[in-house]
Chains A and B, each alone.
Chain A
Amino acid sequence: MLFSDLTQEIYFSLSSNKSRSFLTILGIVIGIGSVIAMVSIGQGAAKNIETNIQSLGTNLLVVTPGSQKSGVGTMVRGGMGSATTLKNDDAEAITAQIVSIDAVAPTVSSRKQVKTTKGTNSNISIYGVNAAYQTVKNVEIESGNFITEEQSKKNAKVAVLGSGARDDLFGEGSDPVGEKIRIENLEFNIIGVAKSKGGTGFGSADDLIYIPIITAQRYLTGSSSLSNINIQVSQENLMDSVQEQIKTLLLVRHGITDADSADFTIVNQADILSAMSSVSDTLTLLLAAIAGISLLVGGIGIMNMMLTTVTERTREIGLRKSLGAKNGDINIQFLAESVALTFIGGIIGILLGWLVSWLITKIGGTATNVTSSSVALAFGVSAAIGIVFGYYPARRASKLNPIEALRYE
């Protein structure tokens, strides 16, 4: 049998059994497509969490006002606590009395109406910060400068825009350094724009405006309360002891004897990290399980399709052999047919999986990440199932003599 005959036979065979071919391909498409889409969501979430964690800064302790019970959740939501138990004095005491810390960055935050001179209007989170904030939270500057020590001590009316806030107010990619904005009818000079921290989802670190903390307290919040205090510890292995020291210090300062009724919470970066990665691990596991099930279902579909046609195919094999086909002719035809089916289905499945994860990102706003290993896994498993179950019965049938094959039931 010539190669051109082989391709022609496959074409005739697949096109004259359209529903059979279609269902087999469908099984493969669903198997591969769903695995790729599922895994891409898991991988996307994991990657997202990773960038969020990196944007936090290094060796970070965060003190937030409010009771212990709200725990990590308070931090994750941004810590705009309703409690007002943390004061400027607390931050100063920490700076003065605790050793082994590199920097202390107290912040206040609140959402305010922001206007540009052109009249653009938006509701944006305003962060009152000091100069140390930049190092503590890894803020990188795209243009201009961050708030300086001097500016944060005086109540200078200067502002640094997060890249998201800049996009909102002045348009994507523009450089508004030198322009003015109005926050609650106070005019601020824009002195810098921060680089995007990447990461989407909860508490995007780009949609905000930094101003000096004293300015924020005097004009915007009107009190000396803090939203949180970020502390950068000098060495990772000192994190726990520094955390203890700060706790003791603040308990004494607030006159609390029972540690359980503390009116503040200290969150260790390691806690956040492990909380986040356990969430992402669970998510990945869950999606992998769903993907595994869809691969199994797809596989059984393929298998079923291939096996239900065994009777018919066995007769066909008997007929072809009686007309002079050698076993090799039969094997190669049926193998090539299975390969063709799995490849057509595989390619459509990969495209579909890709499309689905693209749509999830586009419409759902969830980050997805199609990895080559998930493509390879999905494709490999379906191809193996398709080829084994397409080829194996044919191989068995080709060993029967033509009459036995023709009578097969």
Chain B
Amino acid sequence: MIRCEKITKIYQTGDTGLVVLKEVSFEIKKGEFVAIIGPSGSGKSTLMHILGALDRPTSGNYFLNDRNMLELSDDELAEIRSQKIGFVFQSFNLLSRTTVLRNVVLPLIYDRNTPKNERQLKAEASLQSSGLEKDRWHHLSNQLSGGQMQRVAIARALVNSPDLILADEPTGNLDSKTGDVVLETFKRLNREKGHTIVLITHEKYVAEHADRIIEIKDGMISADRKRFSLLKDK
């Protein structure tokens, strides 16, 4: 499903260029559940933005479903983001002064394939599975706690049941119990519906929920292995 070939990202700050990703190459197959771990500043979010078609690499090629994403127009990329990708931002990026439900419905208004009358139901189902208490659904997004915002962001990413779910630290602000609920949701989507899931985390414990763990260090892949318990099973 995902194929990265020598992806390099350089941020130009003043005269000097900051190389954040150095010729990163890897593949992720349809239906995989992958965790990316690495120290802060190693380039995880940057990579994730490229995978989500939100940003373009400085060089290299990125294929999603065998289409070269660098050759697509803005509108074609928007169409792919709308149809295929659910993105959970590390900093949530909710629409402020807007209700939780409205935030979750938002991706659907840009999706021609969801009839208007189904939006509300889909949004509610998605919020349900993200574990956000029902009495918060009509609150404004800027009146929520960090963990609650995180769950809204997750619900918004899942609302269109996209083939590819990209989650940047989705459990970073959650206690272990709520975190587990979210992770179980991801797992279920992966097992039962075959969604491909890539999640970024700092915690080994969270990474252990995935089937495959990619480690990034200084903009390069330093390890790429099956889950420890899977290895043990063999």
A residues sitting closer than 8 Å to B (CB atoms) are: 1-2, 4-5, 9, 12, 16-17, 315-316, 318-329, 401-404, 406
Given known A-B contacts A403-B49, A403-B54, A325 and B110 have beta carbons under 8 A apart: yes
Q: For B111, what are the chain A residues with a Cβ–Cβ distance below 8 Å?
A: 324
CB distance from B92 to the nearest CB of A (A): 10
Given known A-B contacts A323-B81, A324-B82, A326-B74, A1 and B116 have beta carbons under 8 A apart: no
Give the residue of A2, A9, A16, A404 whose beta carbon is less than 8 angstroms from that of B116. A2
Q: Do A327 and B83 have beta carbons less than 8 Å apart?
A: no
**Cα–Cα distance between A403 and B74 once the two chains are bound (Å):** 13
Residue of B nearest to A404 (CB): B55
Q: For B78, what are the chain A residues with a Cβ–Cβ distance below 8 Å?
A: 321, 324-327
Q: For B156, what are the chain A residues with a Cβ–Cβ distance below 8 Å?
A: 323
Q: Do B97 and A322 have beta carbons less than 8 Å apart?
A: no
For the complex of A and B, list the 5 residue pairs with the smallest distance between their C-beta atoms, beginning with the closest. Answer: A324-B82, A324-B110, A16-B97, A403-B55, A323-B107
Q: Do B110 and A16 have beta carbons less than 8 Å apart?
A: no
Residue B144 at the A interface, CB < 8 A? no
Q: For the A-B complex with A16-B98, A326-B74 known, give 8 more contacts whose Cβ atoms are closer than 8 Å.
A: A1-B110, A2-B116, A318-B93, A319-B95, A320-B106, A322-B89, A323-B82, A404-B55
**Cα–Cα distance between A386 and B192 once the two chains are bound (Å):** 51
* A to B contact number (C-beta, < 8 Å): 67
Residue of B nearest to A321 (CB): B78
Residue B219 at the A interface, CB < 8 A? no
CB distance from B39 to the nearest CB of A (A): 21
**Cα–Cα distance between A31 and B87 once the two chains are bound (Å):** 44
Residue of B nearest to A2 (CB): B116
**Cα–Cα distance between A16 and B116 once the two chains are bound (Å):** 22
Q: Do B83 and A324 have beta carbons less than 8 Å apart?
A: yes
**Cα–Cα distance between A326 and B79 once the two chains are bound (Å):** 7
Q: For B79, what are the chain A residues with a Cβ–Cβ distance below 8 Å?
A: 324, 326
Q: Do A328 and B75 have beta carbons less than 8 Å apart?
A: yes
Q: For A319, what are the chain B residues with a Cβ–Cβ distance below 8 Å?
A: 93, 95
**Cα–Cα distance between A138 and B98 once the two chains are bound (Å):** 71
Within 44-66 of B, Cβ neighbours of A (below 8 Å) are at 49, 52, 54-56
**Cα–Cα distance between A329 and B112 once the two chains are bound (Å):** 12
Q: For B87, what are the chain A residues with a Cβ–Cβ distance below 8 Å?
A: 322
**Cα–Cα distance between A29 and B93 once the two chains are bound (Å):** 34
Given known A-B contacts A4-B116, A16-B97, A323 and B110 have beta carbons under 8 A apart: yes
What are 13 of the A-B contact pairs (CB < 8 Å)?
A1-B109, A5-B116, A320-B110, A321-B78, A322-B81, A322-B93, A324-B78, A324-B81, A324-B82, A326-B78, A328-B75, A402-B54, A403-B49
Residue B6 at the A interface, CB < 8 A? no
Residue B3 at the A interface, CB < 8 A? no
Residue of B nearest to A327 (CB): B74
**Cα–Cα distance between A406 and B75 once the two chains are bound (Å):** 18
Given known A-B contacts A4-B116, A319-B93, A401 and B110 have beta carbons under 8 A apart: no
Residue of A nearest to B81 (CB): A324
Q: Do B116 and A329 have beta carbons less than 8 Å apart?
A: no
Residue of A nearest to B50 (CB): A403
Q: Do B81 and A17 have beta carbons less than 8 Å apart?
A: no
CB distance from B205 to the nearest CB of A (A): 29
CB distance from B17 to the nearest CB of A (A): 17
Which of A2, A4, A322 has the most B CB atoms < 10 Å from its CB? Answer: A322
**Cα–Cα distance between A404 and B54 once the two chains are bound (Å):** 9
Residue of A nearest to B46 (CB): A403
**Binary interface encoding of chain B residues 69-108 relative to chain A, with 1 for a CB under 8 A from any of its CBs, else 0:** 0000011001101110001010001010110001000110
**Cα–Cα distance between A318 and B93 once the two chains are bound (Å):** 9
**Cα–Cα distance between A12 and B109 once the two chains are bound (Å):** 13
Residue of A nearest to B75 (CB): A326
Q: Do A12 and B107 have beta carbons less than 8 Å apart?
A: no
Q: For A328, what are the chain B residues with a Cβ–Cβ distance below 8 Å?
A: 75
Q: For A329, what are the chain B residues with a Cβ–Cβ distance below 8 Å?
A: 110
Residue of B nearest to A402 (CB): B54
CB distance from B194 to the nearest CB of A (A): 21
Give the residue of A9, A316, A401 whose beta carbon is less than 8 angstroms from that of B109. A9
**Cα–Cα distance between A402 and B80 once the two chains are bound (Å):** 14
CB distance from A228 to the nearest CB of B (A): 73
CB distance from B181 to the nearest CB of A (A): 24
Q: Do B75 and A401 have beta carbons less than 8 Å apart?
A: no
**Binary interface encoding of chain B residues 101-142 relative to chain A, with 1 for a CB under 8 A from any of its CBs, else 0:** 010001101110000100000000000000000000000000
Give the residue of A4, A9, A322 whose beta carbon is less than 8 angstroms from that of B52. A322
Q: Do B54 and A401 have beta carbons less than 8 Å apart?
A: yes
Q: For A4, what are the chain B residues with a Cβ–Cβ distance below 8 Å?
A: 116
Residue of A nearest to B45 (CB): A403
Q: Do A401 and B56 have beta carbons less than 8 Å apart?
A: yes
Q: For B55, what are the chain A residues with a Cβ–Cβ distance below 8 Å?
A: 401-404
CB distance from B224 to the nearest CB of A (A): 25
Q: For A12, what are the chain B residues with a Cβ–Cβ distance below 8 Å?
A: 98, 102
Q: For B109, what are the chain A residues with a Cβ–Cβ distance below 8 Å?
A: 1-2, 5, 9
CB distance from A309 to the nearest CB of B (A): 12
Give the residue of A17, A327, A402 whose beta carbon is less than 8 angstroms from that of B75. A327
Q: For A1, what are the chain B residues with a Cβ–Cβ distance below 8 Å?
A: 109-110
CB distance from A168 to the nearest CB of B (A): 63
Q: For A5, what are the chain B residues with a Cβ–Cβ distance below 8 Å?
A: 109, 116
**Cα–Cα distance between A315 and B81 once the two chains are bound (Å):** 17
CB distance from A227 to the nearest CB of B (A): 74
Residue of A nearest to B92 (CB): A319
**Cα–Cα distance between A4 and B29 once the two chains are bound (Å):** 39
**Cα–Cα distance between A325 and B52 once the two chains are bound (Å):** 14
**Cα–Cα distance between A9 and B108 once the two chains are bound (Å):** 13
CB distance from A395 to the nearest CB of B (A): 13
Q: For A9, what are the chain B residues with a Cβ–Cβ distance below 8 Å?
A: 109
Q: Do A326 and B110 have beta carbons less than 8 Å apart?
A: yes
